[in-house]
Amino acid sequence: MGSVSINDICQGKRDPDHKFELALGLDDLDTALEIPTEINPESITKWKALGDRALAAWRFDLAKECFENAGDLGALMLLLMSMGGEDELLKLAKRAENEGQNNLAWVIWWSTGARDRCVELLMKTDRVSEAAMFARTYVPRTVLAWKAELNAKSRPKIAETIANPDVNPDLFEEGWNSVLEKEKHSVVESTVVTPQTEPVVLVDVGA
């Protein structure tokens, strides 16, 4: 007996959901792809189901397409991290931030070494104290830009409370030089964004 295709099985049937389930069950992913692509492009459930099955079948490009269409940014982030897609990861971080998925954006900014973007995200979400502590540890020169931004936004009193390492060096004696050296070293090595080996610093920055 010759091989039987999904289309042969579904001949005479008009139920796309049935055809989709049959295709998934038989791992005919190309046929399954026809349903959300041509008939029901807004079906998040089908895109996710197909993406998961494509991932299990090691068809990463198809999985990526499905997760993108499903808006499953978390699954897409994990996939891109495993594939090493740095440029696409950065685009995903911007998309996540624009869509209000700030915690996801934070993880990507941190993982790709974009410490300045971490500070910007904290400031954007009004996590001022966390931004100050993070900047002090990882991107100390950001403190100067922060003060300037506050002054530009007519918030001089808040800006005055932020110590300037150039004006108040006595407040930055302990470990300050080592922090600056670490930042300088990080900048030199980050002309090409590379994943970080340090444990992720988790900060709750919203949805």
The pLDDT tens digits of the residues spanning 93-110 come to: 999 999 999 999 999 998
Each residue of 26-50: pLDDT tens digit? 889 998 998 888 877 778 999 999 9
- Distances in Å between the alpha carbon of 154 and those of 90, 149, 167? 32, 9, 21
Q: How far is CA 176 from CA 32, 47, 99, 136, 173, in A?
A: 58, 50, 36, 9, 6
pTM of the full predicted structure? 0.66
Residue 109: which of 98, 117, 101 has the closest Cα? 117
- What pLDDT, on a 0 to 100 scale, did the predictor assign at position 192? 39
Q: pLDDT at position 4, please?
A: 52
Q: In this predicted model, what pLDDT tens digit does every residue of 99-157 receive, in sequence order? A: 999 999 999 998 888 888 888 898 888 887 788 778 777 776 667 777 777 788 888 88
At 188, the pLDDT band (50, 70, 90 cuts) reads very low
pLDDT band, very low/low/confident/very high, at 52 (cuts 50, 70, 90): very high
Tokens 């996540």 sit at which residue? 96
> Residue 114: which of 195, 15, 35 has the closest Cα?
195
DSSP-based helix, strand, coil % in the chain, nearest 5: 65, 0, 35
